[in-house]
Amino acid sequence: MLTRAAAAEACDLWVLLDRGTRHRTWLGRLLSLPARDIEPCFWLGKAGGVAVLMFLDGAWSEYRATDPDGPAPATEAQRMALSCEEPTPAPPESCLRAERAFAAAAEYLVRGERPRWLVYQYVR
């Protein structure tokens, strides 16, 4: 799936881990907890040769990946396409070369943890 997304000119890819059905209690029903246990992993957006990679934790807190070698140059249109539906463009420092973002996503899927060769900015 990642290989096909990397070959595309643009993509908007959410990766979530479905752990199966959740044991529902009366309190869970009262609080409207979902019936399935879904854990977020990452969001990867690509526009041309530029991408934004954002990892999420179990509380849906966001960690934007940044490259210690420096951001990829991106146009305003590319940054807007990579804003993850926010009204403002993606920050320039979160723009990665697409091949680096896809390599990091693939490493995460194999190892189950964020790659250490990127730096992460806590968003919320």
Q: Establish if 76 belongs to a structural domain.
A: yes
Whole-number Å distance between alpha carbons of 24 and 82:
37
Burial of 107 (0-12, 13-18, 19+ CB in 10 A): middle
Model confidence over 71-102: pLDDT tens digits? 999 999 999 999 988 999 999 999 999 999 99
Structure tokens at 1: 């799936």
Domain containing 49 equals 11-122
pLDDT for 119 beyond 90: yes
pTM to 2 decimal places = 0.85
Q: Establish if 44 belongs to a structural domain.
A: yes
- Confidence (pLDDT) at 58: 85
Q: Establish if 54 belongs to a structural domain.
A: yes
The domain total for the chain is 1
Model confidence over 7-58: pLDDT tens digits? 999 999 999 987 777 666 766 666 666 666 678 999 999 999 999 999 999 8
